[in-house]
Amino acid sequence: MNPTAATESRRTPERPDSGDGERTDAPGDVRGEAPGAAPADGGIEAALERLPSRLRQAVEPHADRLDIGMIADAYAFAEEAHSGQKRASGESFIVHTTEVARILAELHLDTVSIVAGLIHDTVEDTSRTLDDVETQFGEEVARVVDGVTKIGKVQFRSATEQQVENYRKLLLSMASDARVILIKLVDRLHNMRTL
């Protein structure tokens, strides 16, 4: 995909393309670098200020290689989509997606992984669609979010059948994009820590 086209495809009409571009890494290159994007609305510092403090602290040391504007847009997208939703623990749903993204950032993963971590539940648990994700954030983010969503959807008749299918899906996902597996593992990790 043309880097300029990728950037233009995820920009909203009211936010013009800043010309920051976006590196498209091979599907499994989870630590690929993206440029430290200077959003049209005031730069990296302004975008960092739009993030909750724990996520901001996790991405700030790596801001030079991340598209902070895109991450801030993803946080706003997830916050709006999950507005009013609560988890079984009683906390606001956005806390979960933010913590998933924070852990991914602490693992020094790329922009696509952090963005997908923020919005991984929007397609499954809100009225947002995969097309909405692709329009806002591009095809690569949509593909990763779709993979994370599909991993948890299959229903099985027996525990053995489920285990075999889970391993099969794990291997297939890893072959196409390791970020899908990492995001799902971090999602489950945060669930185990908090529920």
CB contact set of 45 (below 8 Å; sequence gap of 6+):
none
- The CATH number linked to 185 is 1.10.3210.10
* Inter-CA distances, 96 with 50, 171, 190, 192, Å: 17, 26, 7, 11
CB contact set of 184 (below 8 Å; sequence gap of 6+):
148, 151, 152
Lowest mean pLDDT among 12-16, 36-40, 63-67, 185-189: 12-16
Please tell me which residue in 17, 124, 161, 165 is annotated as part of the active site. 124
pLDDT value at 17 more than 80: no
Q: Which domain holds residue 37?
A: 3-194
3-state secondary structure of 111: helix
For the chain, the first-to-last Cα distance in angstroms comes to 40
Does 181 or 12 have the greater pLDDT score? 181
Residue 4: its pLDDT value, please? 38
Please tell me which residue in 8, 33, 60, 125 is annotated as part of the active site. 125
Residue keyed to tokens 């099969």: 168
Q: What pTM was estimated for this model as a whole?
A: 0.70
Known active-site residue 124: yes
Count: domains in the chain: 1
Known active-site residue 49: no
pLDDT value at 32 more than 60: no
Residue 130: its pLDDT value, please? 96
